[in-house]
Structure 1
Amino acid sequence: MPGVAHAREIVVDERRDTVWATAFGSGSVVAFDSRTYREVGRVTVEGAGPTGLAVDERTGTVLASDFTNDRLIQVSPGSAVPRFVPAGDGPLSVSFSANGRTACTAGQGAGTVSVVDLRKGVVTRSIPTGEGAKSVAADSRSGRVLAVNRLADSVSVVDPRAGTVVETVATEALPNHVHLTQDGMAYVLDKSASGPAGEDRITRIRLGSP
């Protein structure tokens, strides 16, 4: 897909056959038709550094974490004018809650997960997880959030409603990203070449029942 300077992350809106991408280098959030690969939308914010990305497929709303300005860029369907919502310190990643009313961000600067009330446009909780918090993913079954702590070599399981860490799981060195499946399996990419042959590794974590 051309025209995405320093592409950082993508998400797919399957209901609308749309692929969204963050272009960190140009401060843009870009949409493409997943069938034709044609660009169908672009929102550019001067001085922004969009990194993480999430989509609410029920509404078509897209959130991009603006690492440079400690905020979220919210793009609503049919609008070229974004809304800005405060986030944590150095938000690299963002995830919607199951009901779409809140979002969680991984704040690399503070080592926290921030819970954001999207309707009010405020941070309601800031939960310490570990140094270098880099990636978040929400479990739609339980509402809990996994946060990868890159410099702490761990993954935190967070209860965003209570504002607590309920479990911490050790990983290989320098975990970088977490992906959650619908059946409660989490896959954490450890980008440290810490395997026996100097390769990167994947840590698999099964979450408990909601």
Structure 2
Amino acid sequence: MDHRDPAAQGPACSAGLAHRVRAHCPVGKGPEAVVVDAPRRRAFVACSRSDAVVALDLDTARPVWRADVGREPIPLVLDRPTGRLFSADARSDTVTVLDSATGTRLAQIPVGCYPAGLGHHPGLRRVFSGNTADGTITAVDADRLEVVGTVPAELGAGSIAVDTRRDRGWCANFMTGSVTSFDAASLRPLGRTAVREGPCKAVVDPARGDLYVASSLHGTVSRIRLDTGALLGELPVERAPVGMCVDDVRGLLYVCNRGAGTVSVLDTATGRETHRIMVGNAPGDCALDPVSDTLLVSNAGSGTVTFVHRPWLPGPPPPTSHPLVGRRLPGFALPDLSDGRIRTSREWAEKKYVINFFASW
């Protein structure tokens, strides 16, 4: 089975002037979260429609093992000290724990209703589950594999980002357009920050001290200051951003645009998009392998994971739009074919309309 993308092997790619799509690896139905274990040369993908987690070899871009979990696994986190992989199974209301080396199931822990997000604080030895239907956050001990507490959030609680420097967690609440902050040690709720509609992914940028929240229904990424919780502004991206990861070494934010089949690359210093990467259908999440300089993108609509080599370099420029796009409609006057009456563009001023131009031959 050939994993290479022939379209990505152009002169610019071979000359090392642009990112290169290295492979499209089939994994299963509805891949969502992707996690990288660079030292062990493994990546792990939650296949939500296959009810399974798949391990990939980072160097060959091929599957290593497949493990059944609960129904509809969406997020994943890896606890590197123990080598345990945690999968939140949304339709089973459980968190499944796997041995990341073999895929062996170690435990299945009941949490709240429809867990759709996970966060991890390795120092405090805790994994946090965002329970969408309950509007709560469940804290799980990463060593004893048992629930140690619950934090109130809001309806649609899902993706959880953890600021390990401040021992603070941030939970995106999809239904209420907000982010709940909480103390990761005491499990006390600390505050609420309003964001745009449909927040479904939160990630921490430790280098800049910022939190990024992707609002899928609004096509923006909100930037929040970690030390104050203040909303700093919004970064526009393409349609339906649902997944993100941060390259804090190069100062880049990668945003998966589910509705466009692309990944937006944003400069975290300026907030500007530097370029876009074409991937598969309905990209769900992404993660970086710093060893091979590769970005892994899960494509829920394609059932694949795309391996993008050197993703910080821009690829070929996107097609340019026609120069008339965005300009005002020029005035015109033409006879109506039905009765010969002269119709002008002024009749449709300030209205929405569709014009069908056609040839009469």
The two structures have a TM-score, normalised by structure 2, of: 0.53
Task: Decide whether aligned partners of structure 1 residues 76 and 100 sit closer, same or farther in structure 2, where only a CA change above 3 A counts.
Answer: farther
Q: Deviations over 1:23-56 (max 9, x none)?
A: 11111111111121011121113x5221111112
Q: 1:203 aligned to 213, 222, 225, which one? A: 222
Mapping of residues 93-108 of structure 1, within 5 Å: 93-99=117-123, 101-108=125-132
For residues 34 and 72 of structure 2, what CA distance do their matches in structure 1 show? 15
Distance in 1 separating the partners of 2:177 and 2:126: 27
2:164 aligned partner: 140
Taking the TM superposition and a 5 Å limit, the aligned residue runs for 1:1-210 are: 1-45=25-69, 48-82=71-105, 83-99=107-123, 101-183=125-207, 184-193=209-218, 200-208=219-227
Aligned equivalents of 1:170 and 1:204: distance in 2?
11
CA contact (8 A) 1:17 1:33 kept: yes
Q: Over aligned residues, Cα RMSD in angstroms?
A: 1.7
Q: What is the CA distance between 1:154 and its match in structure 2?
A: 0.7
Structure 2 CA distance for aligned equivalents of residues 2 and 103 of structure 1: 29
SS of 1:85 mapped into structure 2: strand
Amino acid at match of 1:188: V
Q: How much has 1:71 moved relative to structure 2?
A: 1.2
1:131-183: CA deviation from partner (whole Å, max 9, x where unpaired) = 11121111121221110011111111111322221121110112111111223
Worse overlay, 36-45 or 56-65: 56-65
SS at match of 2:148: strand
Return closer, same or farther for 1:111/1:24 CA change in 2, 3 Å cut-off: same
* Deviations, residues 105-135 of structure 1 (Å, cap 9, x unaligned): 1000111111112333322211111111121
> Is the 1:13–1:60 contact (alpha carbons within 8 Å) kept by the matching residues of 2?
no
Consecutive unaligned residues of structure 2, counting only runs of 5 or more, are 1-24, 229-361
Q: Secondary structure at the match of 2:39?
A: helix
Give the structure 2 partner of residue 196 of structure 1: none
Aligned residues between the structures = 202
Q: Give the fraction of aligned pairs with identical amino acids, expressed as a percent.
A: 26
Unpaired stretches in structure 1, ≥5 consecutive residues: 194-199
Query: Per-residue deviation at 1:15?
Result: 1.6
- Which structure: larger Rg? 2
Offset of 1:57 from its aligned partner? 2.9
| Counterparts of 2:83 and 2:144, CA distance in 1 | 19
Give TM-score, length-normalised by structure 1: 0.89
Shift of 1:100: 6.4
Q: Assess, with a 3 A threshold, how the Cα gap between structure 1 residues 77 and 21 changes in structure 2: closer, same or farther.
A: closer
